[in-house]
């Protein structure tokens, strides 16, 4: 199965807003399979379609130790259940090599559809809640670096731009 190319910050394509998925067909299943393969080979815990330049509201998460429990969320909506925030050192496959602390609501309820279009709800806490919020941000064109100081964000941008020039 093909490994998809992951866009990297500051690529402007990462800023596009994704459109709802309306067709739950074989093509969607192939995309999910390719994205899973891509996430596992890159050793990520989460991947949004935006990151592989597909601007549809679809994301994957696998926070399991054995990397064998993928969760697929299509057209996810989020409701904050607790005003309490939790802090995590976040990274991103689109911002390779950088980890920074971000605060987000600790507990959220997600309403989404599965690969068959079936609606489901899930309450997520801690790392799963953080990860889902991080991935939904991608679908809205947002990145974790947007929560950092301008200085930190610019340092990350310069470093990655240098890397991209070298490999171009």
- Binding residues vs Co ion (CB under 5 A): 92
Residue 25 or 68 having the CB closest to ligand QAP? 68
Judge contact between 139 and 57, C-beta under 8 A: yes
Q: How far from each other are the two terminal CA atoms of the chain, in whole angstroms?
A: 25
Distance CA(35)–CA(47), nearest Å, equals 7
Beta strands in 22-127 (DSSP E): 46-48, 58-61, 71-80, 85-90, 100-105, 107-113, 119-125
Q: Does 4 contact ligand QAP by CB under 6 A? A: no
Q: Rule CB under 6 A: is residue 43 a binding residue for ligand QAP?
A: yes
Q: Which stretch binds ligand QAP (CB under 6 A): 2-10, 29-37, 72-80, 89-97?
A: 89-97
| Residues pairing with 79 in the sheet | 109
DSSP 83: S
Q: Which stretch binds ligand QAP (CB under 6 A): 27-35, 44-52, 77-85, 106-114?
A: 44-52
Residue 100 annotated as catalytic:
no
Q: Whole-angstrom Cα distance, residue 85 to residue 158?
A: 30
The reply on whether position 59 binds ligand QAP by CB under 6 A is: no
Our finding on whether 70 is near ligand QAP (CB under 6 A) is: no
Select the residue interacting with ligand QAP from 82, 96, 162, 163 (CB under 6 A).
96
> Beta 71-80 vs 58-61: how paired, if at all?
antiparallel
Piece of the chain touching ligand QAP by CB under 6 A; list 6-14, 20-28, 41-49, 115-123? 41-49
**Residues 69, 62: contact at Cβ < 8 Å?**
yes
Do 39 and 60 touch, CB atoms closer than 8 A?
yes
105 in contact with ligand QAP (CB under 6 A) = no
76 binds ligand QAP (CB under 6 A): no
Rule CB under 6 A: which residues touch ligand QAP? 42-46, 88, 90-93, 96-97, 130-131, 134
Task: Give me the active site residues, please.
Answer: 135
């Amino acid at each position: 199965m093909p490994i998809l190319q992951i866009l990297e910050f500051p690529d402007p394509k990462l800023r596009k807003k994704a459109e709802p998925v309306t067709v739950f067909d074989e093509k969607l299943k192939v995309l999910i399979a390719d994205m899973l393969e891509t996430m596992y080979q890159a050793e990520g815990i989460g991947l949004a379609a935006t990151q592989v330049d597909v601007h549809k509201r679809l994301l994957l998460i696998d926070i399991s130790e054995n990397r064998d429990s993928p969760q697929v969320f299509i057209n996810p909506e989020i409701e904050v259940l607790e005003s309490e925030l939790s802090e995590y050192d976040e990274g991103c496959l689109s911002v390779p090599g950088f980890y920074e602390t971000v605060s987000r609501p600790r507990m959220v309820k997600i309403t989404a559809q599965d690969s068959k279009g079936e609606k489901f709800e899930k309450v997520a806490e801690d790392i799963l809640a953080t990860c889902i919020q991080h991935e939904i941000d991608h679908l809205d064109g947002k990145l974790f670096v947007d929560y950092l100081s301008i200085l930190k964000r610019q340092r990350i941008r310069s470093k990655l731009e240098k890397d991209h020039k070298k490999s171009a």
